[in-house]
Structures are given as C-alpha cells and as structure tokens.
Chains A and B, each alone.
Chain A
Amino acid sequence: MHIDLRTVSIKPLRQTFDHVARRIGGDKPASRYQEGTFDLQATANFHYRPTWDPQHEIFDPSRSAIRMADWYAFKDPRQFYYGAYALARAKQQDTAEGNFDFVEGRGLADELPAALRDTVLKLLVPLRHVAWGSNMNNAAICAYGYGTAFTQPCVYQAMDQLGIAQYLTRIGLLLGDVDVLDEAKAAWMDDGAWQGLRRYVEDSFVLKDPFELYVAQNVVLDGLLYPLVYETVIDGVLSARGGTAVAMLTRFMTDWFGETRKWVDATVKTAAAESADNKALLEKWIARWRDRAAGALLPVARIALQEGADAVLAEVVQQFNARLAKAGVAL
C-alpha cells in the first residue's frame, strides 16, 4: 500500500536531537553540519586504555597542550560534513579534469618553452612527497585530536592532500614521463635544495601533540608553501614567462588553498581567543615552525626564482604574519 502522505500536516514532537539542542540554545531546526558533527565522538566511560598509548584514554584532550573548555567551540566555516565535502570536491575535480583535457588535447604541454617545463618539473614534482607528508599528518590529527569539530575536517584535509599528490603526479606524467617521478624522488632524497624541507616534514612526523602538528603542517607549512609556489611562482612569475598552461593544471591547488585557509584561520582564532596560555603557546609554536619552514623553502623558491627568491619569500612571510595577526596571533 502506498499512501500519498504529502497533504498531512503533522506537528513533530521535536526539531532535533537533544545533544544538538543543548548546543544551539534550545529545540529548533538544526543544520546537517550540526547534526553530523556535535558530540559525535565519545567522551565518557571508555572501556579500555589503548595498548598503544596506555597513558591516555582512547580520546583524550590531554594529548595536546592546548586547553579548551569545549572542543566544539571550533567551527568549520565551510560547514563540511561528508556530503557537502564530497560535492564540493567533485565539482573541483570536474574543473580540473576539464583543464587537463584542455592542455592535453591542444598539445599545450609540448608548446611550453623547454626551460620553463624543466623548471616546472623540478619544482612541482617533488612536492608530491610534501603532500604525502601532509596526508600522514592530517591522518594523525584526525586520529589523536579531540572532538569531531576539530578532527573531522582533518580527514578531509588528509585526502585532499593525497588528491594533490596525485594531481602533481599527473602533471609530471603530462609534462614528462614516468622517469620524472623517479628523478623528482631522487631530488627529494638527495638534492640539497630539498633537504631542509624533507627534514621539516620528517620532524613533523614525530610530533605527539596533535595541535602542534596542526600548526606545523596546516598553519605554517601550507601557509607559506601555497602562496609561494602556486600563487606567486606558478600563477605569477611562470605565467608571465609563457606558463599559463601550468597554472591551469594547478588550479585545483590554488582554489583549494583559498578555501581551506579560512578553516585554518578560524581554528587558530578560536584556540587563541580561548585563553592567554593558548595564545602564548600558539605564538611560540607558529614563530618557531615559521622560521624553520621559511629557511627550508628558500632553496626551493630558488629553483624558479633564482636570486629573486629571498625578496619573494620575505614578502610571503610578511603576508603570513599579517594573516595570523588577524587570527589573533601576533608574531
């Protein structure tokens, strides 16, 4: 039996779940982001201690030195739950696919000046390993962080970075051949230009505090790398030298950084506004990792910018400081 029930007007007993109502100030309609985020992580009555970390509960805020009265104070301004996330990325991948087809179909890769293509391969292809590092680190923040509001976007970030590593691989295959992947990996392992950055990434792998890891990866490294490589070098300098096709191929990364930085800013701002202790800790972490990252990125910037690298990087750092100041962290 199927009944047409559309015409029945029913007064519901309640608008949302109680735990959501307690957070949004009473029983009223809640968004899918709210219902799919609030209190999803268990906080009480854990049965066993992790055999891999018996000092802590399964989920334990004391894994971080950042203190929050409520870890659901964090909000993702994009309001990403899985469905919203998947739709946003599907749209971007559709654009990326179109751009790859356009460049490939018109043979634009072959028309790039040889020197420029060489520079692009040397600069971009080793970055697939940096993206892989971010995938590792965001998996760690998602696993060991506290509260769904803070950890959920990190699994999205982790998989985005895997996607970026795969786009960089495709760029390598489009502009070169499978060999360029091996050459880039060799450079990543042994070439002096990359060793500072590789050391930075490997050092981040052993950080135990999920919030410090968030700072080292999402705030600092991405906060300097993306404006430097994608916004300045690819979209600016190399485009002016005839590399517009390359900018089409890295459009995903440019758009992605424009979007994710808003979430990163919101996260830093919320943590810093919580207490003077948090703020001081964030200032210390960000300044320390920023100096290391800037030092590591300088020889990478030189691959494309040669002696202009110092000035460009200084400018990027200055913009980074201004951005963090807006989020409440004075550097």
Chain B
Amino acid sequence: MDMQVAKKKLGLKEKYQVMTRGLDWEPSYQKKEDIYPYASYEGIKIHDWDKWEDPFRLTMDAYWKYQAEKERKLYAIIDAYAQNNGHLNVTDARYINTVKLFLTGVSPLEYMAHRGFAHAGRAFPGAGPRVACLMQSLDEIRHAQTQIHALSNFNKHYNGLHDFRHMHDRVWYLSVPKSFFDDAVTAGPFEFMVAIGFSFEYVLTNLLFVPFVSGAAYNGDMGTMTFGFSAQSDEARHMTLGLEVIKFILEQDPDNLPIVQRWIDKWTWRGYRVLTLVAMMMDYMLPKRTMSWKEAWEVYFEENGGALFKDLARYGITMPRCAETIALEKDHLSHQAWGTFYNYGAAAAFHTWVPEKEEMDWLAAKYPQSFDKYYRPRLEFWREQAAKGNRFYNKTLPMLCQTCQIPMLFTEPGDPTKICYREVDYQGSKYHFCSDHCKEIFEHEPEKYVQSWLPVHQIYQGSCFPEGTDPSAEGFDPLAAVLQYYHLEFGRDNLDFEGSEDQKNFDLWRGQATKNG
C-alpha cells in the first residue's frame, strides 16, 4: 500500500470515466431485459454501451458549484426586477403578450422534458447516456421553475398568465405544443432522444431561445433575458448530448440508419410546426424586432443545420425532406399564423392587433416577395373594418390537422392563395392533415395519432364545458362555456390589445412613473 507517491494523476476524461462508468454492473439476480424493459422494442441495436462518448464531463460536485452560481445571479436579478417594477421598462405593453405565449405554451414543456429525461435516464442500459439524461432531467425542472418565478411578477400585473397550467392542458392552440411533447414522451426512449435531444434541442432550440431572448433584451425585459440566457447555458450541454446520441446510435449498427432518418424527418417537421408560434411572435408580437423569422430560419436552420447535416452525411444521414417545404413556407408562415390568431382573438388568452404602418413597412422590407402582395391588403382591410366598428371575431371552429393540431391555415407549397388539405381514410373514418408531412407521420403510426385529443372535436362532443353545463338550455352560448372551461376571463384575457385592461394599466402606471403626480 506504499504506492502513494506513484499514484497517477487522472486527466479529465479518465477521472470522469472512473467517476461514472465503473458504477454499473452486469446483473445476475434479475434478467437484464427485466431491469431495462424498454431498451429494445424500437428496433435500435446497441452492441457496446461503453463506446458512448461523454462530451462534457461534469461530476456532481462541479455541477452543484456552477449551477448554484448561475442560480444566485439569476434570482438576484429576478428579485431586483420585481422590486423595481422592471415590467414598466418594456418597450410597450404589447410585448407582454409574447411572455404569455411563452408561459402557457413553453414552460409546461420544460416540465415535460424533466419527466421525459427521467424516464430516458432510467431506461437506457448504459451508464454514460443514463447520467447525461438525468442531468438534463434536473436542468429541465430548473428551466420550468425559473421561468415561472421570473414571469410570476408579470402575472401579478397583467392578464392571461393567471392559470397557465390549467390552460396548457385545455386551450385549443396550446394543444399544439402539448401534443408535440406528449408524442415524444410516449415514443420509446431512443425516439424520445432523437425527437427532443437531437431534433428539438440541437436543430431547433436556437430558433426558440436566441430570438426570443434577444427579443426580450431588445424590448427592455431584463428578467426574461436573464432566465433565457441562464437556461441557454444548460442548453449547450443538452445540444451536445443530442448530437452525441445520434452519432452513437449510428455508429453502433448500420440497421439503425433508416430508423433514425425517419425519426429525424418526423421530428424536424413536428418541431418546425410548433415553431409557427415563434415565427408569429418574432414578426408580429415584438414591438422592437430583432430579426425576422425568415432570417432566423436562414441563420439557425439553413446555415447552421446545413453544416450539421453535412457533418452527419458520413453516417448516411441526409437533410430532412421537409426542409424543401419549409423553404417554400418561410415567406408566409408568420403572416398566416397571425392572421388566424387575429381572427380567433376572442378565444385566445393573449391580445391581438393589426401592426402599425411602420411595422408593416418593416415586414414589407423583410418579406419583399410576399407581404405587400398577399398580407398587407388583408391587414389594412381588417384595420379599416375595426375602425368602422366591424371588428370581426370568428366564432366558427376551424378544422384541425390530426397530427400537428394546428388549424388548416397553411397554403399549398408554392401557391399562397390555396389552403393545403390532405386526407386519409383509416378504419372507416376520414382524417385531415395540413401537409404531406403531417399526413405521412400519421400513415406510419395511425394507431397512435387516432388518439389525438383534438380541441375542436372535443368541443363539439361536449367535453369542454364546465361541469354541470346544459348545452340544450335556452340561450346556451357555447363559446362562453368553452372559455369558462379554459378559465379564460372574457374581456380581460382575450380580444384586442387596443382598449384592454393591460393597455390601460400599463399607461397609467408608466405615467405615474414618468410624470409628476
């Protein structure tokens, strides 16, 4: 035992190796397939879990140390922001609607990611990926909570955020992000990793966070900017995990390639459809814009994603085919989405408006091929009608896509004047889709997607009224009953920004702050 002097100093890689890898063992009292029952049914073949490469080698002591430092900084800013009424520093109160969309649509997904990675982190038989997944599970509950804590102060002063958790499980447009994540966690653990770890975190998350967070910074929302950047520092680890997962699976067995390619195709499209909400937020909801949706797509998907898929070509992976459709949609996506929300502004938990003239000019400059030709005339018409007292709120429920659950608002690739409809007959029923890609996803797993809880169908079936409602009663107002079921307060959470309580309060409070009393 007198070998202390000869003791070898371990480098980062070796140290992490002994700290993590040696911990698991080949069981003998229980069968391996009983301990890891979800590891093989997807058809992915793994021969050697030890070939897994850990990109970042954080042991728990270092993790606690650095994460605590981030949390200290973050909560100091959240506290200061609340104490100083930082919300009154935002460019204008329309901005706050982006925050509403974020808390009701995205934060609950962070929580789902937490549980999903706990599941993946239990399900994989290899120590390396298990630890990486569990660390991500821990980070994801951080993201859900820091978002809730940072946005809690907005909830105290503005409408639309007050019952975000209840709304997420019920409100029609929130079934888009909800079904996206439900889809991922109900898939097997390998597909979950490709869906969330790779397609979402690596390929698409920059499009969610970087524009949203720089948008917050541009619009004077320091609280949101801080939680956003603080969360992103964890994302860098998560993205790397996503990339390592793909490489690892592909290196293990050539039979894995077609399965993985199909998952990448599917989840790039699924994720992209969810980002419709981000496109609309960037182009229409930020009073001070950072970059257009189209520009963000070009930088973060076409350029950066292009480099990624070129790198993965050595494994036989190709750019998802849906990229061609997306390229055709990028001039139209945000305009079509905002038009739809403007229509359904009575049933949404945030406010809508027609952009100001300078804002339309900005959109025209960013979208020279499409805005003036297709979208400006429509917006100007709506503004004129509203000025005449004819603000039109659509009360007819739209047809939804069976896969992505977005109303059928998208146009034919290459023809922005014609709505795109696709359909499939399956077991005696007809199912409807917004695109070829959503249709293909359904056709591959119809038994899964027939289960979709489609908000419009559910309303027609009577599942979305408060308990005890009698729809056959005289004067029954179905929209009012649905909004009650959503816990959406008519006249406070919904309708136009112009004339809203948010607008009045913001002006009043800011006036108190900037003028002598």
- Which A positions have Cβ atoms within 8 angstroms of B? 2-8, 10, 12-19, 32, 35-36, 39-52, 58-59, 81-83, 86-87, 89-94, 96-97, 109-110, 114, 117-118, 128-129, 131-132, 135-136, 139-140, 142-144, 148, 151-152, 155-156, 158-160, 162-163, 165-167, 169-170, 173, 176-178, 181-182, 185, 188-189, 198-199, 202-203, 205-206
Contact between A10 and B68, CB atoms less than 8 A apart: no
Q: Which residues of A contact B163 (CB under 8 A)?
A: 17-19
Contacts A82-B146, A205-B27 given; does A158 touch B8 at CB 8 Å = no
**Are A159 and B27 closer than 8 Å at their CB atoms?**
no
CB of B115 within 8 A of chain A?
yes
| Cross-chain contact of B108 among A42, A109, A160, A188 (Cβ < 8 A) | A42
Asked whether B61 lies within 8 Å of A142 as measured between CB atoms, the reply is: no
> Could you tell me the distance between the alpha carbons of A36 and B517 in the complex, rounded to whole angstroms?
38
Q: Mark B163-194, 1 if CB is under 8 A from A, else 0.
A: 11110111000010011001101111100000
Q: Which residues of the other chain, B, contact A49 by a CB distance below 8 angstroms?
A: 186, 451
Q: Chain B nearest CB: distance from A27 CB in Å?
A: 10
Task: Known contacts A13-B159, A42-B108, A86-B68; decide if A169 and B19 are in contact (CB<8 Å).
Answer: yes
Interface majority SS (helix, strand, loop, mixed), chain B? helix
Given A51-B186, A83-B145, A181-B18, 11 additional A-B pairs, CB 8 A: A3-B89, A5-B86, A5-B88, A8-B509, A17-B152, A47-B178, A89-B64, A129-B25, A198-B29, A203-B30, A205-B34
Expressed in whole angstroms, the Cα–Cα distance for A274 and B45 within the complex equals 45
Q: A15 to B153, alpha carbons, bound, how many Å?
A: 9
B485 to chain A minimum Cβ distance, whole angstroms, is 11
Report chain B residues within 8 Å CB of A152: 141
**Alpha-carbon distance between A262 and B182 when the two chains are bound, in angstroms:** 34
A159 and B64 alpha carbons, distance in the complex (Å): 10
Interface-lining segment among B116-124, B195-203, B336-344, B346-354: B116-124
Q: Is there contact, CB below 8 Å, between B89 and A5?
A: yes
Complex contact B75–A132 (CB within 8 A): no
Q: Is there contact, CB below 8 Å, between A48 and B59?
A: no
When distances are taken between beta carbons in the complex, the residues of chain B under 8 Å from A140 are 122
Q: Does B310 contact A (CB under 8 A)?
A: no
CA distance A50 to B322 in the complex (A): 26
A82–B84 touching, CB < 8 Å: no
> Of the 9-residue stretches B132-140, B284-292, B466-474, which lies at the interface with chain A?
B132-140
- Which 3 A-B pairs rank lowest in CB-CB distance, beginning with the nearest? A90-B68, A163-B60, A36-B145
Contacts of A167 in B (CB 8 A): 61
Q: Which of B7, B64, B123, B130 has the most CB of A within 10 A?
A: B64
Contacting pair B118 A40 (CB below 8 A) = no
Contact A87–B68 (Cβ < 8 Å):
yes
CB-defined contacts of B146 to chain A, threshold 8 Å: 82-83
Residue picked from A13, A92, A135, A143, most chain B C-beta under 10 Å: A143
CA distance A93 to B25 in the complex (A): 27
Can you sample 22 A-B contacts with CB below 8 Å? Answer: A8-B85, A8-B513, A14-B156, A45-B170, A46-B182, A47-B175, A48-B186, A49-B451, A82-B141, A82-B142, A129-B24, A132-B127, A136-B122, A143-B118, A143-B122, A155-B134, A155-B141, A163-B61, A169-B18, A176-B1, A182-B22, A189-B26
Check if B61 sits within 8 Å of A93, measured CB to CB: yes
Residue in contact with A43 in the complex, picked from B119, B169, B189, B509, CB distance below 8 Å: B169
Tell me if B12 counts as interface (CB < 8 A to partner A): no
Neighbour of B183 across the interface among A15, A48, A198, CB < 8 A = A48
A52:B38 contact, CB within 8 angstroms = yes
CB <8 Å contact, B182 and A47: yes
Complex: how many Å from CA A117 to CA B67?
34
Chain B, 52-86, contact with A by CB distance < 8 Å: what is the 0/1 string? Answer: 00000001110111011101101100000001111
Question: Judging by beta carbons under 8 Å apart, are A6 and B85 in contact?
Answer: yes
Q: Are B134 and A202 in contact (CB under 8 A)?
A: no
Q: In the complex, how many angstroms separate the beta carbon of A6 from the nearest chain B beta carbon? A: 5
* Closest B residue by C-beta to A135: B134
Partner among A14, A51, A178 whose Cβ is within 8 Å of the Cβ of B162: A14
Residues of B within 8 A of A177 (CB): 3, 7-8
Question: Is there an interface contact between B182 and A48, defined as CB atoms closer than 8 Å?
Answer: yes
| B157 and A48 within 8 A (CB) | no
Q: Say yes or no: B188 contacts A206, CB within 8 Å.
A: no
Residue in A51, A83, A151 whose CB lies within 8 Å of B188: A51
With A and B bound together, what is the CA distance between A165 and B131 in angstroms?
A: 12
Identify the closest chain A residue to B110 (Cβ). A40
Q: Is the CB of B4 within 8 A of A17?
A: no
Q: Does B453 contact A (CB under 8 A)?
A: yes
B182–A58 contact, CB under 8 A? yes
- Name B514's closest neighbour in chain A (CB-CB): A3
CA distance A128 to B24 in the complex (A): 9
Contacting residues, chain A, for B23 (C-beta < 8 A): 128-129, 131-132, 165
With beta carbons under 8 angstroms apart, the residue of A10, A36, A40, A83 that contacts B509 is A10
Q: Is the CB of A178 within 8 A of B8?
A: yes
